[in-house]
Homo-oligomer: A and B are copies of this chain.
Amino acid sequence: MTDARPPDLARLSLNQATTQRWTLREAVDGCFRAGIPWIGPWRDKVAEAGGAVASARLIRDAGLRVSSLCRGGFFPAATPSARRERIDDNRRALDEAAEIGTEVLVLVCGPAPDRDIDAARRMVEDGIAAVIPYAAERGVRLAIEPLHPMFAGDRSVVVTLAQANGMVERLDSPHVGVAVDVYHVWWDPEVYVQIARAAGRILGFHISDWLAPPPDVLLGRGMMGDGVIQLQRLRAAVEAAGYTGPIEVEIFNQQIWDTPGDQVLARIRERYPDC
């Protein structure tokens, strides 16, 4: 770092997907060493660490806070009973979010079970509607995360912030909002209009970068500063829309996964002040 002063890390969060090879304990310890005050765990890692209650203790003991839990969602399915199972799983995810001590459950909404993408979009909205009462009961908010359209076939039929905003407005609950991930929305000609439209309902902000050309469909995200996203402009827009919560660094990248975690966190600290 050219600047000797420590950057203001107060809002910085490590989304656990960035250090895929670390267990939750390793990630918590890494954040502690790096002075990163927030962490965004994933449910599979939480389960491996002994569940949400044990994970909450682990995180709290290190003095960290939980920015969000990844992830609920995956609502569309071919049959009513399969859709009910997905809703049950989202209720469990809400339990885990409450137990681990975060107010935000990130929703990756899921792909269509067949070619009918519009029907799948209705299943998503119906599924979210079905879990809102339980979210309210558990004091957790559901953050609809529009994914990049490159994931429309296998991960999420919700692919634009306009679409997520429309759902949030129709569902009209204080327990439903959006998560804005720069990687998923940066390309959108409407992104600034839609961030403004989401004012007051932004529940999370995720950063990484878009490499050009992307080296991989799933594992091609870049470290902030290595790509073409206007990170500062997007952050300013999200802040102008009232979001002042944690900023999660979420990077799916094989090369970064293969780098020792402490080095990755050092690089995040170095790049974060320019984001």
Contact = CB atoms under 8 A, between A and B. Distances in A.
B115 A229 contact: yes
Contacts of A228: 112, 114-115, 117, 153
Contact of A111 (B149, B212, B214): B212
Q: How many copies does the complex hold?
A: 2
Given A187-B152, A228-B115, A213 B220 contact: no
Contacts of A227: 153
Contacts of A114: 228
Nearest to A148: B149
Interface in A193-230: 210-214, 216-218, 220, 227-230
A178 to B, nearest CB: 15
A189 interface: yes
A121 B210 CA distance: 18
Interface in A166-187: 186-187
Main DSSP-derived SS at the A contact region: loop
A10 interface: no
B116 A189 contact: no
A188 interface: yes
A162 interface: yes
A209 to B, nearest CB: 10
B187 A230 contact: no
A270 to B, nearest CB: 19
Nearest to A211: B153
Given A150-B150, A159-B187, A159-B189, 19 more contacts: A111-B212, A114-B228, A115-B228, A115-B229, A116-B230, A117-B186, A117-B228, A121-B189, A149-B149, A150-B217, A153-B187, A153-B211, A153-B212, A153-B213, A154-B212, A160-B189, A162-B190, A213-B217, A213-B218
Interface of A: 111-112, 114-117, 121, 148-150, 152-154, 159-160, 162-163, 186-190, 210-214, 216-218, 220, 227-230
